[in-house]
Amino acid sequence: MGAPISAVEIDGVSKHFSLRHTHSLKESVVWTLQGRARRDEFTALHPLDLTITQGEAVGLLGRNGSGKSTLLKLVAGVMTPDSGEVRVRGRLAGLLEVGAGFHPDLTGRENVYLNASILGVERAQIEERFDDIVAFADIGQFLDTQVRFYSSGMFLRLAFAVAVHTEPDVFLVDEILAVGDEAFRAKCLERIELLRAEGRTLVVVSHDLPLVERLCDRGVVLDRGHMMVDASVGEAVAAMRVAG
């Protein structure tokens, strides 16, 4: 057997944010004359290395503010790192924010084509899969309604349906399943497990430890932007439970 093929490579990646503060007019003038703005630097991720191989399912764990979602957004390409490099092999799809990639003035039908094209699917392929997407989303009469009138649950149904029908090589999920009802959540989990069985790569951010144990075989624990654990999912979950 050959060496494992990398699906995601994260080399020396870090991310910082500037936190601006409000201040008085006098302070504003002084800071402006000095050519600087008052801000604090917040490091969301310290330089981090992580390789995820094809077909692997990895759970990113940690308390709020640990850097999990920032790391996932860097992998997704919706943020750029301040240092280092992220490389993803193959088609990437995911659910990072409810409604991301949807235009509020377009209908659900129109957004299926828009969102799928953003994910790199050609129109002919979208048309072939359109009925399956609509059936999975199960939004019925609202398909031709502007999505600005959708509930968060309806957004999720349509977004998830589009994402899983693009046949992604790497699939990202960030706490998004917490929005749906139980029946649809079960449907989503069944489809994610099918993606796993097909050898797709999965990266999950969740506070739901039993869910991570169910879906993943490896766990990475972050704490204040540092990687603390990179081990089997059982060991990573156990570390989280000990930390409280």
Q: Domain residues of the chain, as ranges? A: 6-243
Residue 244: CA count within 13 A, CB half-sphere: 0
State pLDDT tens for residues 52-102. Answer: 999 999 999 999 999 999 999 999 988 999 999 999 999 998 877 655 668
User: What is the reported pLDDT for 94?
Assistant: 81
Positions of the chain with pLDDT lower than 70, given as ranges: 1-2, 19-40, 97-101, 176-180, 244
18: helix, coil or strand? strand
What's residue 203's pLDDT? Answer: 96
Distance CA 148, CA 91 (A): 28
Which residues lie closer than 8 Å to 55 by C-beta, 6 or more apart? 7, 196, 199, 200, 201
The answer to whether residues 74 and 86 touch, using CB atoms and an 8 Å cutoff, is yes
What's the pLDDT score for residue 90? 92
49 in helix, strand or coil?
A: strand
Task: Give the pLDDT score at 184.
Answer: 85
H or E element in which residue 42 lies: strand 39-53
Residues composing the chain: 244
Hey, what CATH topology would domain 6-243 get?
Rossmann fold (3.40.50)
Cβ neighbors of 161 (< 8 A, separation 6 or more) are 133, 134, 136, 137
Which string of DSSP letters, residue by residue, matches 55-108? T-EEEEE-STTSSHHHHHHHHHTSS--SEEEEEE-S-EEEESSTTTT--TTSBH
Q: What is the pLDDT of residue 214?
A: 92
The confidence score (pLDDT) of residue 45 equals 95
* DSSP assignment letter at 169: S
Global pTM reads: 0.84
| pLDDT for 113 | 93
Give residue for tokens 């790391």: 71
